[in-house]
Structures are given as structure tokens and as C-alpha cells.
Amino acid sequence: MQEDAIRFDDRVAIVTGAGNGLGRSHALGLAARGAKVVVNDRGTALDGSGGSISAAAKVTAEIEAAGGVAMADEADVTDFAQVAAMVERARERWGRVDILVSNAGILRDKSFAKMGLDDFRAVLEVHLMGAVHGAKAVWDIMRAQNYGRIVFTSSSSGLYGNFGQANYGTAKTGLIGLMNVLHHEGQKNDIRVNILSPTAATRMTEQYLAAEDKALLAPETVTPGLLYLVGPHAPSRVMLCAGAGCFARAEILETEGIFLPEAERSPEAVAQRFAAISDRGRHAPLPDAWAQTKKYVAMARRMAGR
């Protein structure tokens, strides 16, 4: 392995939803590069029903057979007390927690017209609140040790939308807001927070994929991106998209926009100037929420001073 290889020796990682698919691949990848890994999975069906520690135990056995160090855990990510207890078990055994990969998820797809609110809430509880619970449980530990790496698993359904996934898309977009805020709050303690938006052949997607595409979309084609995002020199506040060995970066951008003098501030004027408002000739990501306010104030002052 090259001299600048990304390693995780003496690091402790928690991967939720690690019994299958992407989570399994991430756990194996972390362990192969020296991390001690908590393999968390409740072993439920895709809709969240049922449960067994067998999936987590199997991945743990794979890691140990390859010479790695791991422990299986079946904490329910929707229950903060269980998540906090899992984190404490990891710290009691290995002394610290350095990495959180929030990957656990379920699906309850239906069109919005047919979707019950219970199915909506259930998906938010696992994907969004599950990520919140994990981050909250490790946050003080990471602050105290002045080191932490957190990755939330988002989705193109959250970034761009997908029919029948209002619950899933809402949860996945919510993770972007969580990342943005925790990035700012974690900076002084070297806690770096990122998003991974993967596409892979897993239990969640295999029914929708053509047979010839499944081999290309193996979860292992995504994991190199995850390992970078939790590495010692990781960026922060990045949305990395990955699949089939391809990697891209998604960003939320804002156009330069226009200024309307007070006498012209009407919905009709907005409609008439909407093409100019939407002009992508000049657009950029904004570093924080106040940057938007400052941008508008500066534009208004500049235009008023003409």
C-alpha cells in the first residue's frame, strides 16, 4: 500500500445498517484498513419489520476471519437510548469512537396520494432521526477528543426526487440540512461531516435494476468514496455521489439573482424577470445561511447607490 494510503489504525468506527449491501461493504473496507468496527444491524425486512442480529454477526465474523476487529450490535437507530448504549459499549471496549457512518434505512414506497402517515413517519424515523440519534450519541465524545468523522447516507431521491418516495426523499434531503449545521458546529473540534449519495445494487434497489447493470453497481464500487470521506484528511460539508466506480460532487447553488426597486416589487415583475432570476451565468454555493442575507443586502445597497 502506498505511503499516503488512507488508514484507520487505532480508530473506532460505527456503521449502521451494516449487515448487508453498502453498510457491509463499508464495514469490511474500514476493517481492512485497520479500524475497529461496530457492525450495527437489526436484521429487519426492507420495510423495517422483524429483526435478528444474524446479519450483523455474519459480517462481524467475516471481518474477524480476515484478521480484523469487530463487534456486532443490534441497536435500533430509532431509539436514542439504544443508540447511546451502543456507543457506550464501543467506548468501553475500545476507548473511543472516531467515525460514524449512518447508513441504516428502510423503504415503504407508495405514491403520496396512497401513502399513510404512519409509513411516512416510519421512514423519517429510521433515515433522518436515526442519523440524528447516532450523531448526538457520538458528538460529545468527538468534541472531547477533538476528532470525529461523520457521514450521512443521502440519495438521489432526496437530491432530485423520485416517484413514490415522498417519505424517503424528505428524509434524505433533511440529512443535507443536518450536515450543513453540524459542519459549522464541529469545525473547532476537527469534526468533519459529509454526505454520501450512493447508487448500488442492494436489497433496496435490485428489483429495479437490469441484470446486466447489477455487477457494475456492486456496493464495493461506492466504498472508496466513503473511506475518503471518513479519512484523516477528509473534507467537510461535501456531498459525494458514487456508483459503478463513478464519483461526482453535488452542490446546492444559488444564481446571482436580480434587484427590484421598491416601486417594481410585484409578483408580475417577478414573473416578467424570472428568466433573469434563473440565469445560471453566475452562480455559486454559499458558505452559510447568513451569506445569503449578506449577498442580498450588498446587492440592494449596490443597486440603490447607482
For the chain, how far is it from start to end, CA to CA, in angstroms? 61
Residue 218 confidence (pLDDT): 85
pLDDT at residue 51 in the model: 72
> Is the confidence at residue 87, as pLDDT, over 60?
yes
Q: How far apart are CA 216 and CA 55, in angstroms?
A: 24
* Residue type for position 150: I
Report yes or no: 152 and 175 within 8 Å, Cβ to Cβ. Answer: yes
Mean pLDDT, the chain, whole residue set: 92
Please count the other Cβ atoms lying within 10 Å of the Cβ belonging to residue 254. Answer: 13
Per-residue model confidence (pLDDT) at position 8: 98
For residue 52, the model assigns a pLDDT of 80
The predicted structure's pLDDT at residue 47: 66
**pLDDT beyond 70 at 205:** no
Highest mean pLDDT among 71-85, 201-215, 245-259: 71-85
Pairing of strands 239-243, 12-16: unpaired
Sheet-wide strand order for 148-153: 69-73, 36-40, 12-16, 99-102, 148-153, 191-198, 239-243, 246-250
Query: pLDDT at residue 202 above 80?
Result: no
Model pLDDT, residue 150: 99
pLDDT tens figures, 258-302? 999 999 999 999 999 999 999 999 898 888 878 888 888 887 878
- Mean pLDDT lowest for which of 25-34, 192-201, 224-233? 192-201
Whether the pLDDT of residue 43 is over 60: the answer is: yes
pLDDT at 3: 57
Contact in structure between 153 and 105 (CB atoms under 8 Å): yes
> Do 47 and 106 touch, CB atoms closer than 8 A?
yes
- Which one of 168, 208, 228, 296 is the catalytic residue? 168
More confident residue, 284 or 3: 284
Output the pLDDT for position 303. Answer: 82
**Minimum mean pLDDT range among 63-72, 217-226, 287-296:** 287-296
Q: State in words which class domain 12-250 has.
A: alpha beta
pLDDT given for residue 226 in this prediction = 98
Q: Which helix (H) or strand (E) holds 73?
A: strand 69-73
Side-chain-side CA neighbours of residue 276 (13 Å): 8
pLDDT tens figures, 114-166: 999 999 999 999 999 999 999 999 999 999 999 999 999 999 999 999 899 99
CA distances for 99 relative to 27, 68, 117, angstroms: 11, 16, 33
Active site residue 147: no
Residues of the chain above pLDDT 70, percent: 94
pLDDT at 214: 67
Question: Cell numbers 443508540 label which residue?
Answer: 83
Cβ atoms of 102 and 16 closer than 8 Å? yes
Grid coordinates standing for 177?
440540512
pLDDT of residue 203: 62
| C-alpha dihedral sign at 58, 62, 64, 68 | negative
> What residues does each domain of the chain span?
12-250, 254-304
